[in-house]
A and B are shown apart, each in its own frame.
Chain A
């Protein structure tokens, strides 16, 4: 009975740093300069321009997720069929860069694309293009796709594959009829773990896209930078709520597919 007291520090933490900031977001969305009003909030909600930016962010996040899945699945599959020690070493190569701060890695990519590659090979600098933004997003989030996929695939019961082969299925059929369906939980949590950070991406479009690709995170920053000086936090807060809803909805959809919570366990 007494054990529940051990949870109190965490509950206090949650209230202070998760619940309270959320309440502030909702408060500022409907409270402009001390006056309760839905007008500002409604203006932001009906601003088509903002929805266009959201759509672009969704497109870029979907593209990032799709590329991560296409690249990450074979990697995870190959890793899961290797000897544990070799697989451990190779996956370490994937994760070691993640020990370094995300912003620093993005700066490093900026230096590579703007200075190193053009100076070494005489090609034009690639920053400021959609391709460069997508590439760095994929680089940053690929480990989040490989990790859950590798977890699911390596736990796969190998006797099922033997059974499939025994029953006369060739490699292709075994993969599509046995391996792929069984790895759905890994795919689902991989997609969630890439899509959610990708849709809220903010540093990469600013640093690699040279500010040419304004995503939703940048839009929120703009709203606070430009209007907060006038005491108006409403636009930024409303945009944050919209993004929050998008993230919740996409997570809910993904959870629906992931019925047995297999991949979720690694979160």
Chain B
């Protein structure tokens, strides 16, 4: 009797597994533009941020190409650099941010991409490649993956004036209800913008002035956050915070009182691009994966999962107006015009990091 139960359970589990697998069946929709993928095989080690890809797409890629994908998550650009620098780095594909890519190019860590193997790169909006050209000249080493802006997410039940200036982060009215982003480049960056300076300033005096401004904010600032800002804002626990547009877009869906604005002084427009490190082993599969991700249908599915903005024009054409007509997801040209990308600061990083240490220990 017992044996039977065991057997039945095992069968049931097998069935469940089989059912799981068939969930990602290839439907016509996923074959974008009638593309066929070659069988490549081998293994592909992908290093990416957490929750930054639709996991079903990985299964789909594995089915289509016979490549076994090992998906490894990272929590910061710095962690990624440390992993890639190590002598036995295993990674074939990675998703660093703009200024880090600039640094990696300077340090000769990247493999130039063979664009003939990434025909889908033509789907990338030329408007986007024009911006990414700023940190990857000629777009030789990277293909844009996701992008967005930095702005203010605010609760309209607590803030009834329009948010047009970064100055609102220093407004006494909101004392104890303002959260800043716990990242050196972002928080010093928006302060530099507020003061009318360049995001990538090389002036020590300007950086120190921004640091003093942030130290003076202590009474108004509730704290420094990162991923936790979303739940804080969604639960109505703060009036406003500095945040990335992608996170703002997700939160605004959960709590309808929330709104997002990119202040008029301008802000940062950021990119996470996909790159192949020099140390990569399976370069063939890495190119195939980049091509796969840039397929219009695939990119559309991916952005619908992540909620971060896609630079892929073919995907934008397929997306629901819920995404494309939203100014947080798809900011109008005038917003983009007042945003700039971060550049690698080289040795000047130390001035920023000293200022940051002074800000963080000012209380």
Contacts and interface: CB of A to CB of B under 8 A. Distances in A.
Contact of A226 (B223, B232, B235, B353): B353
Contacts of B221: 212
A210 B222 contact: yes
Nearest to B222: A128
Interface stretch (A1-9, A70-78, A167-175, A217-225): A217-225
Nearest to B179: A210
Interface string A210-238: 11111000110010111111110000000
B349 interface: yes
A209 interface: yes
A49 B350 CA distance: 14
A214 B215 CA distance: 13
A209 B222 CA distance: 9
B130 to A, nearest CB: 27
B255 to A, nearest CB: 15
Contact of A124 (B176, B224, B360): B176
A211 B81 contact: no
Contacts of B356: 222, 226
Contact of B360 (A47, A218, A227): A218
B49 to A, nearest CB: 15
Interface in A19-61: 47, 49-50, 52-53, 56
A52 B223 contact: no
B182 interface: yes
Q: Is the interface of A mostly helix, strand, loop or mixed?
A: helix
B353 A227 contact: yes
Contacts of A262: none
A114 to B, nearest CB: 7
B363 A213 contact: yes
A47 B221 CA distance: 27
A115 interface: yes
A164 interface: no
Given A211-B182, A225-B78, A231-B85, A219 B223 contact: no
A71 to B, nearest CB: 25
A125 interface: yes
Contacts of B358: 49
Interface string B321-362: 000000000000000000000000000011001101110110
B78 A228 contact: yes
Contacts of B353: 222, 226-227
Contact of B223 (A128, A222, A227): A128
B20 interface: no
Contacts of A53: 357, 361
Interface string B59-87: 00000000000000000111001100100
B46 interface: no
A192 interface: no
Interface in A110-131: 114-115, 124-125, 127-128, 130
B184 interface: yes
Contact of B76 (A115, A130, A212, A225): A225
A222 B76 contact: no
B235 A115 contact: yes
Contacts of B235: 115
B278 interface: no
The winner among A214, A218, A228 for most chain B CB atoms within 10 A is A214
A226 B184 CA distance: 9
B183 to A, nearest CB: 10
Interface in A88-142: 114-115, 124-125, 127-128, 130
A228 B83 CA distance: 11
Contacts of A209: 223
B237 interface: yes
Contact of A49 (B82, B237, B357): B357
B222 A214 contact: no
A210 B360 contact: no
Given A115-B235, A127-B223, A211-B223, A229 B361 contact: no
The winner among B76, B353, B358 for most chain A CB atoms within 10 A is B353
Contacts of A210: 179, 222-225
B248 to A, nearest CB: 20
B81 A229 contact: yes
A130 B237 CA distance: 19
Interface of B: 76-78, 81-82, 85, 100, 103, 176, 179, 182, 184, 218, 221-225, 232, 235, 237, 349-350, 353-354, 356-358, 360-361, 363
Report the 4 A-B pairs with minimum CB-CB distance, sorted nearest first. Answer: A210-B223, A211-B224, A229-B78, A229-B81
Given A128-B223, A226-B78, A229-B77, 17 more contacts: A50-B357, A114-B232, A125-B237, A209-B223, A210-B222, A211-B182, A211-B223, A212-B221, A214-B357, A218-B360, A222-B356, A222-B360, A225-B78, A226-B353, A226-B356, A228-B82, A230-B103
